[in-house]
Amino acid sequence: MTDGLYIHIPFCHQICFYCDFNKVFFKNQPVDEYIDCLGEELMMMREEGMFGAEGPLTIFIGGGTPTALDNRQLEKLFAHIRRAVPTERLIEFSTEANPDELTPDKLVILRENGVRRLSIGVQSFDAGLLERLGRTHSPGDAERVVRQARDEGFENISIDLMYGLPGQTMEQWEDTLDRALALGLPHYSAYSLIVEPKTIFYNLMNKDLLPLPGEDTEAKMFSRLIERMADTGLRQYEISNFAIEGFESVHNKLYWQNRSYAGAGAGAHGYANGIRYSNHGPLKKYMNAVNEGRRPVFEDHTVTLEEEMEEEMFLGLRMTAGVRYDDFSRRFGKPLDEVYGTEIRDLTEQGLIAEDHEAVRLTQKGVFLGNEVFQKFLG
């Protein structure tokens, strides 16, 4: 039985210039047929016992853009979820959303079908930067949709922000933080831009046409982010995530705690019964597999004990709670310092991690140099 369920909607009305997730342009795609295949895949998972009798703790609908679906398609999606997924254990039901697609009607549909947490892709409150990112909403759209979501009864709202963007200045970042924090939300996520292969930004960078701020400016932006969140009473519970108590993302914490989750949809990933798997990404291959009556798994890998311990460290250390000694020994039957004593001592001497009688955690310096820390635990 898995603790979480991720459902992937790969359709977008506009392809953002930085995005490397599995997605396709909405127009002329078999959207309804895809939703039906998704429903069949969920039924296959149920029949295999992946949800157990009581279902997962969390459901997260991501993309792509789930709110690219029209009202009827959203209703169809939720009908499939209700048919296949038990919800007796469910404590968090989230969906991603774009500000200019999350209409009042769609908010009602989400609410009536059990969604209680919204993750809204805002990225910036600077109109010029939004255009540069390939986003189609305006700063005003983001502020408007938060008001509408609250009017509809949504309390658990998060927005995503990005920094280190092409041409972005510290002044623009400060202004985005001002407008974001003025919304008084219980949760914020903020990520530095990573230029991934097969994106428009990657092609521009290779042509020397992507004026990035540089590592020093990016570090200052991250530092300012941490300061502003703390000043507003938002706790940094993971490197890129901030929340008031009780509003942390339960679903994302499953990933960082290295717990099991099912992934459904084209290109979705899952981790169940010690096996990490990924589905076919191309819609045709995904749908053909489902229509032939088989799970659309493209590849899978049985995680070894050594790999599982590595994942426990580099995922767990992303959280400010760190990796607890008792959790590690309970899960693996070995003391943490017996397995990683040398690495922990080296990183402690470098001032990148700290330990007490309960856990190993990143220091403030380690938060800025997280990738260097994580690399230490990879065999």
**pLDDT, tens digit, 9 for 90 and up, residues 297-349:** 999 999 999 999 999 999 999 999 999 999 999 999 999 999 999 999 999 99
Q: How far is CA 14 from the centre of its chain?
A: 20
Domain with CATH 3.20.20.70 in the chain: 4-256
Give pTM, 2 decimals.
0.96
Distance (Å, whole) CA 110 – CA 105: 9
Mean pLDDT of 103-130: 97
Query: Cα–Cα distance between 55 and 50 in angstroms, integer?
Result: 8
Across 293-327, b (16+ Cβ under 10 Å) vs e yields: eeebbeeeeebeeeeebbbbbbbbbbbebbbebeb
What's the confidence (pLDDT) of residue 292? 98
Residue 32 binned pLDDT confidence (cut-offs 50, 70, 90): very high
d(CA 132, CA 146): 23
pLDDT of residue 198: 87
Give the residue-averaged pLDDT of 87-102: 97
- Give the up-direction half-sphere exposure of residue 35: CA atoms within 13 A in the CB hemisphere: 19
pLDDT of residue 23: 82
- Confidence at residue 142, expressed as pLDDT on a 0 to 100 scale: 96
The label of the residue with tokens 């942390």 reads 248
* 345-356 residues labelled b (16+ CB within 10 A) or e (exposed): eebeeeebbbbe
The phi, psi pair for 115, rounded to 5°, reads -70, 130
Average pLDDT, stretch 269-276? Answer: 96
Q: Which fold has domain 321-375?
A: Arc Repressor Mutant, subunit A (1.10.10)
Nearest-angstrom CA–CA distance, 102 and 100: 6
Identity of the residue numbered 125:
F
Q: Is the pLDDT of residue 241 over 90?
A: yes
Secondary-structure class of domain 4-256 per CATH: alpha beta
d(CA 263, CA 7): 6
Tokens matching residue 98: 């774009």
H runs (alpha helix) in 240-352: 250-256, 283-291, 305-316, 325-332, 336-349
Is residue 14 pLDDT above 80, yes or no?
yes
